Every structure is written in C-alpha cells, then in structure tokens.
Structure 1
Amino acid sequence: MEYVVRVPAPPLDRFIDDIYCLTGTPRHRRMNVPPMPSAHLFVNLGGPVRLWDSDPSVPPAVLTDGWFMGVWTRRFLFEYPTPVRLVGVHFKPWGLSPFTGMPAAELRNRWVPVDAVWQRSLDRIRNQVDGIASATGRLRVVEEELRSRLAEAPSHGLDLVQHTGRRLETSHGAIPIGALTDAAGVSGNHLATQFKSHVGVTPKRVARIYRFARLIVSVDALRPVDWSRLAQTAGYFDQAHFGREFKDFTGHTPTDYLALRRRFPAERGFPPDSGPMPVD
C-alpha cells in the first residue's frame, strides 16, 4: 500500500490534520477502528467499501463514491476493496464544522454520503481527482476544494471550541475540563453545548478519546509492554477503568490486543497510526 500525505497550508491547518492518498492492495482487508480524535472525508476512486457499526442495532453499509464521517465514540469495522484507490482527509475533532454547515451531532457515529452534505458536488470532485495521475496532484485538488468551502466567518462558538480543543490536543486529554472552563471564563454547560454543536460530543468525551489515542499509539508490539505504566502515562489512574475502556474501544483486552498486533504487524509506513487493527 502506498500512503502519501500532505499537511494543508494555513488557514486549513487549524481544522485539518492532513490530506492523504491511499493506493494499492491491502495486506489486511477488514479493519477494526477504535475511537480516534478525528473526523473524516473520503473520496473513493475504487470499489465499494463495506462498513459495520459495533452497535448491532445499526445495519451495515456499502459505500461507493464518497462520504463524511463525524467523530466516533465507539469502534467500527470496514473492509477495503481490492485494489484501494481513495483520497481522504483527517479533520480535527472540530474541523468539519466550518465546511459542512450542519450540526456536528448529525455526523456523530455516522457515515453520510458527500452529496447529502455538498449538494451534487461529488461527481465533479471525483472526476477532477481521478483525472490526475500523481498522488501529490490529487492532494492539491482536494486541498483547493476544501479551501473554497471554508466558511469566511466562524460560526458562533467555534473559536471557543477550537481554542479549548487545541488544549485537549496538546495535553493528550490530560487537562481537567474545569481548568478549560476557568481559562475560557465560561460555564461547563456552555462549553459542553458548544462542543456538541461543533464536535458532536462533550469536551469530556473528546478528552477520553485523546487520552486513549495517546495510549494506543504508544504501544510497541515488538517489545514487552508495561500496560500499567502506559496507562498511567496516558492519564488512567484507575486500572479497572482502563481495562473497561480499552475493551470498549477496541473489542479486546490489552493482552489480546497485543497478541493480535504481534500476529498481524503493520505494514511499514502504514497505517499512519496504531489505531486501526486487522480483524481476527
């Protein structure tokens, strides 16, 4: 698999971590994805992608051309086509808000077709992207599309969410929510309301996801893992709580997760983080 990534220029970098192009034949087609601190846009140039929610009451989906995904608070599974040809965008948790013009809660734990958000735009975008041979050229096309859609004036509360969200990002979720509200001079209820509007979840939930992400990317499956030390470094001071959250987010105990990682080592340079894992 070839993974080419581009960090967008300002002001997009306030809302987007990176834009990437993924091509090739995956070593593992079906992947289990825990909650991670990001939202997504996918422009698919290949075959259908299959997705399953870990909530059994939600029917599976087959997606073809392109779709948005908001912040997820539970794991989901997806199956790559063969071969893979897609361009994706990793938004910061609050990053979709200035591009979609819709409440973030409507995208939480959901996959939504691009044309349901950007009316009748996907064919044009796919044709532009598909008409360029180089990965870097495709990334520039998507970056310019995003730049053209960035709202000129931030909607109410987005500056507050962005400022406090970046503090959660840089602290890996370790900063107390009370410290955020004190520093911002707002109440906890007001901050939660603004986060629900622009992220889809509360700042406490975002902190939990950042904390878990810090832990999971710290795991080196090639070496012995001291789970207690990793958990404490990430901010888990209750081992029982850590075990429950780990199982809830990954579907595995820490021991089983590590065994899976060792059975199915990641390709060099892909995935870009240690979150997604092959389905056993």
Structure 2
Amino acid sequence: MRYVGRVPAPPLDRFIDDIYCLSGVPRHRVMNVPPMPSAHLFLNFGAPARLHDSDPAGPSVLFADGWFMGLWTRRFLVEYPARVRLVGVHFKPWGLSPFVGGAAGELRNRWAPVDAVWQRSVDRIREEVGAVASAADALRAVKRELRARLAESPLRGLDMVEHTAGRLARSRGAVSVGALTGAAGVSGTHLATQFKSHVGVTPKHVARIYRFAGLILSVDTQGPVDWAELAHTAGYFDQAHFSREFKDFTGHTPTDYLALRRRFPAVHGFPPDSGPMPAD
C-alpha cells in the first residue's frame, strides 16, 4: 500500500499535521490504532472500510463515503477492503475545531459522516477529488476545500488551547497542568472547559496521549528494549500505572507488543505503520 503525504502551507499548517493519499493492497486487512494526538477526516474512493470501537458497547460503522473522527482516548480498529483508495487528513488535537465549529468537542471517541457536519458536500468533494489522476492533484483539491472551510474569525479560546496544547506536544506531555494554567493566566476549570470545547478532552488527557505517543514512537523494536527506562524517560513514575495504560491503549502488554512489532516491523517512511499495529 502506498502512502503519499504532504504538510500543508500556512494557514492550514497551524491545524493540520498532514494530508495524505493511501492506495493499493494493504499488508494487513485489520489495523489496531492506539490513541494518538490526532483528529481525522477520511474521504473514501474505494470499496467500503469498517471502523470498530474497542469498547464492546460501541458500534462499528461501514465507512463508504466521508467521515470525521475526533480525538480518541481509546484504541479503535480499521478493517480495510482488499484494495484501498482514500484521502485523509491528520488534524492536530485542536485543529479540527476551526473547520467544524462547535462539533469538535462532540466528536471525542466518535465518528460522524462529513455530510452531517458539512451539509451535503461529500458527493461534490468526492467527485472533484475522484476526477483527478494523481495523488498530488487529489491532495491539492482537498487543500482547497479545507481552506474554504477554515473559519474566517478566530474561535473563542482556540488561540489559548493551541498555545497550551503546543507546549504539551513539544514536551511530549511533560508539562504539569499547574504550569499550563499559570502560563495561560486562567483557572484550571476555565482551561479544561476550553479544551473540552475545542479538543474534546482536558489538558491532562491530552498530556497522557502525547506522553504515550512519544513513548511508542521511540521504541526501537529491533534492538533490546528497557521498558522501565523508557517509561521513566517518558514521565511514567509508576511502573504499574505504565503497564495498565499501555494495555488499555494498545490491547497488549509491553512484552506482547514488542513480539508483535518484531514479527511485523513498521515500514520506514510509512506513517500509518508508526503507531497502528496489525490486528489480523
């Protein structure tokens, strides 16, 4: 499967990590996706895919057209068709908000059809993107749509959330909530309210996701791994807490995860394999 990704130019780069095309035959039909500091937009141009919530009480959904996904605090699974053709957007944790307004907070651990958010636009977008021949042209078409959808006026509280979450990103979640509220000059309650509105979760939960993402992406699965040292470096000061969170976020113990990654190594330069792992 081929991945072509581009970091967009300003002003989109404030809110988006990359826009990408994914096409071809997947190496693994089912991928287990741990919580990562991203919200998503998927535009599907191939056979339907299926998304599964790791919570047994959560529904699965057949993904045939276009879907938004907010920030997830638990893992989910993607079941690909035999051949894949989709365009996706990785939004920064705060980045979905200026494109969907008040819906960003409501999309935590949820997915919603594009038309439910952007009012009957998915067919037009899919026709425009599907009519172009190259991945580069498809990415340009999606960039145009995103620029047109970007809110003209700054949303209340978003600048503060962006600045605060940016500190968490740079530190991999190592800044305390007290330091964040002090720097922002607001109360913890006010900061949490703004984060829930624009991200869907509190600053503390965003810090947890950045901390875990930093750890999982730093693991050299082909060499010896000292989990205790990695956990301490990432800011886990309680080994039992680290083990529980790791199992919650991946569905595996650290030992089982390492064995899986050694059996199915991530492909260098192929971002979808950096965090997600085979589940089939």
User: Normalising TM by the smaller chain, what interval?
Assistant: over 0.9
CA displacement 1:69-116 (0-9 Å, x = unmatched): 000000011101121100000000011100012232311101110000
**Using the alignment, how far apart are the partners of 2:273 and 2:14 within structure 1?**
20
Tell me, what secondary structure is at the counterpart of 1:87?
strand
Partner of 2:202: 202
Partner of 1:48: 48
Partner of 2:183: 183
Shift in Å at residue 238 of structure 1? 1.0
**Structure 1, unpaired ranges of 5+:** none
Partner of 2:257: 257
Partner of 2:137: 137
**Using the alignment, how far apart are the partners of 1:14 and 1:232 within structure 2?**
31
- Count of aligned residue pairs for this structure pair: 280
Q: CA RMSD in A?
A: 1.0
| Equivalence map 1:215-234=2 (5 Å) | 215-234=215-234
Say if 1:214 and 1:234, in contact at 8 Å, map to a contact too.
yes
**Using the alignment, how far apart are the partners of 2:63 and 2:43 within structure 1?**
11
| Equivalence map 1:1-280=2 (5 Å) | 1-272=1-272, 274-280=274-280
Structure 2 length as normaliser, TM-score? 0.98
Residue identity in the other structure for 2:139: L
Q: Give percent identity, aligned residues only.
A: 76
Tell me, what secondary structure is at the counterpart of 1:31?
strand
CA displacement 1:14-71 (0-9 Å, x = unmatched): 1000100111101101000010000000011011111111111112111101100000
**Using the alignment, how far apart are the partners of 2:232 and 2:137 within structure 1?**
43
Shift in Å at residue 152 of structure 1? 0.9
**Using the alignment, how far apart are the partners of 1:7 and 1:16 within structure 2?**
7
**Structure 2, unpaired ranges of 5+:** none
Say if 1:103 and 1:200, in contact at 8 Å, map to a contact too.
no
Say if 2:3 and 2:22, in contact at 8 Å, map to a contact too.
yes
Structure 1 length as normaliser, TM-score? 0.98
Shift in Å at residue 272 of structure 1? 4.1
Shift in Å at residue 269 of structure 1? 2.7
Tell me, what secondary structure is at the counterpart of 2:213?
helix
Say if 1:217 and 1:273, in contact at 8 Å, map to a contact too.
no
Shift in Å at residue 220 of structure 1? 1.4
